C-alpha cells in the first residue's frame, strides 16, 4: 500500500490489514462484555456432554464476561488462521498433522500486539488467547463478523468454510467493532449431523463430546467404550467428518498455505494401517522425539498407542498380529487391553472369512 492509502485508513482497517500481513486469513473487531452464549455453555457442561474435560468449568465467572480475563481490556481483535481443508482426509485430523497451533497462533498475535504498540507509540495492555483461557472465542468471532455457528458447532465463514483456528488479542483500546454475523446459513442442511460416525450430535449445534471421535482419541484418558470402537474406523487422532461434508467446505475450503501446519514425516501421506503400526511400536522416548511441538503430544504415548490398537482392530489383518501380540505385554494396562481387543477383532474377521 502507498503512504497515501495508509494515511487514509482507519486504525481498525490498519489492524486488520496487519493481521492479514502476518498470515491470518480472517480478522475482525468486537467490544468486550457479557457473553450471550455463556449460559448455553454452562448448560452443556451440566448435561454431562463435556465428559472428562474437567478444566472446562474453571473460570466460569470470567467466561461470562469477556472484559474480565484482562483487566482494563475493552476490545478484542479476533483472527482466523486456515489450516488447509483441501488437504486429503486421513487418519489424523488436519489440524494436528503439523506444529502445535497454539504456538503458531500466539506467536503471530504477539507480533500483532507489538506492531500495535509501535504504531501508536505507547504500551498497550493486552493479552493473546488461543483456546487456553476463560474465553468463548467462538462467541467473540461471531460478534466480530467472522462467521456463524454451524450445526456441527464449528464457526463457519461464508468465504473459507470452517477449517481455521480462532484466536483473540484483548486490548485496553477502544476500537470501532465490526457488525456481528447474524445470519444462519445452514438452512435445512443436516449433512454434518447425519454423517457423524458415532451419532455424537444430540441436536443441531449440541454435541455430546463423550461420543465424539475427537474426544475419544484425544481427551478421554481411559478405555474407549467398546460399543464405540468399531465406529471409530481408521481415525487415529481427531476426526474431520462433520467438516468434510459441509457444503461450505466442499466449495470453499482452502489449500494449506501455512508451512507450520504441513504434515510431519511420521504422518506424511501414509495410509492409516501403516501409521497405526508405527505408532503402536513407539516407546515413550520415540514418541516424544517424533511429536515434539505437535498437538498430538496431548494424548501422550499411551493414548496414541491405545488409538492405534483400535484402528488395527478395525482395519488390520494377519500382518498386524505380531505387533499387537507384543503390545499385549505393554507396560501400560490401557494399551494391553486395547491390543487384546484388536486381536480378537482380527481373529473374528479371519474366522468369518
Q: Alpha-carbon distance 149 to 194, whole Å?
A: 17
What are the grid coordinates assigned to 279, written together?
Answer: 505408532
Query: Which residues have a catalytic role annotated?
Result: 131
Q: Contact at 8 Å (CB) between 143 and 39?
A: no
H-only helix segments in 98-153: 101-120, 137-143
Q: Contact at 8 Å (CB) between 47 and 209?
A: no
Rg of the chain over Cα atoms, rounded to whole angstroms, equals 22
Q: Contact at 8 Å (CB) between 45 and 60?
A: no
Q: Alpha-carbon distance 314 to 345, whole Å?
A: 7
**For 171, what's the count of Cα atoms within 13 Å in the CB-facing half-sphere?**
26
Q: Contact at 8 Å (CB) between 146 and 157?
A: yes
Amino acid at each position: 500500500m502507498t503512504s497515501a492509502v495508509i494515511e487514509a485508513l482507519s486504525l481498525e482497517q490498519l489492524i486488520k490489514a496487519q493481521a492479514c500481513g502476518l498470515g491470518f486469513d480472517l480478522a475482525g473487531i468486537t467490544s468486550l462484555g457479557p457473553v450471550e452464549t455463556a449460559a448455553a455453555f454452562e448448560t452443556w457442561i451440566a448435561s454431562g456432554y463435556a465428559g472428562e474435560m474437567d478444566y472446562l468449568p474453571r473460570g466460569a465467572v470470567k467466561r461470562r464476561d469477556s472484559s474480565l480475563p484482562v483487566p482494563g481490556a475493552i476490545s478484542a481483535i479476533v483472527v482466523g488462521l486456515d489450516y488447509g481443508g483441501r488437504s486429503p482426509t486421513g487418519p489424523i485430523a488436519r489440524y494436528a498433522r503439523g506444529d502445535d497451533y497454539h504456538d503458531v497462533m500466539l506467536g503471530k498475535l504477539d507480533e500483532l500486539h507489538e506492531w500495535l504498540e509501535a504504531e501508536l507509540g505507547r504500551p498497550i495492555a493486552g493479552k493473546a488467547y488461543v483456546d487456553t483461557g476463560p474465553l468463548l472465542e467462538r462467541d467473540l468471532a461471531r460478534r466480530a463478523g467472522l462467521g456463524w455457528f454451524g450445526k456441527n458447532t464449528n464457526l463457519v465463514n461464508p468465504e473459507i468454510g470452517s477449517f481455521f483456528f480462532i484466536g483473540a488479542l484483548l486490548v485496553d483500546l477502544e476500537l470501532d467493532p465490526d457488525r456481528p454475523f447474524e445470519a444462519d446459513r445452514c438452512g435445512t442442511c443436516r449433512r454434518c449431523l447425519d454423517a457423524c460416525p458415532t451419532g455424537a450430535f444430540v441436536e443441531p449445534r449440541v454435541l455430546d463430546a463423550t461420543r465424539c471421535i475427537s474426544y475419544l482419541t484425544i481427551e478421554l484418558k481411559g478405555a474407549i467404550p467398546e460399543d464405540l470402537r468399531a465406529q471409530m474406523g481408521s481415525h487415529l487422532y481427531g476426526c474431520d467428518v462433520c467438516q468434510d461434508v459441509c457444503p461450505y467446505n466442499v466449495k470453499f475450503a482452502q489449500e494449506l498455505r501455512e508451512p507450520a501446519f504441513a504434515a510431519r514425516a511420521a504422518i506424511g501421506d501414509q495410509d492409516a494401517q501403516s501409521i497405526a503400526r508405527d505408532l503402536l511400536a513407539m516407546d515413550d522416548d520415540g514418541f516424544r522425539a517424533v511429536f515434539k511441538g505437535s498437538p498430538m503430544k496431548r494424548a501422550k504415548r499411551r493414548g496414541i498407542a491405545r488409538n492405534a490398537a483400535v484402528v488395527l482392530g478395525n482395519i488390520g489383518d494377519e500382518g498386524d498380529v505380531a505387533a499387537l501380540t507384543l503390545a499385549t505385554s505393554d507396560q501400560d494396562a490401557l494399551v494391553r487391553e486395547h491390543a487384546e481387543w484388536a486381536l480378537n477383532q482380527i481373529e473374528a474377521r479371519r474366522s468369518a472369512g
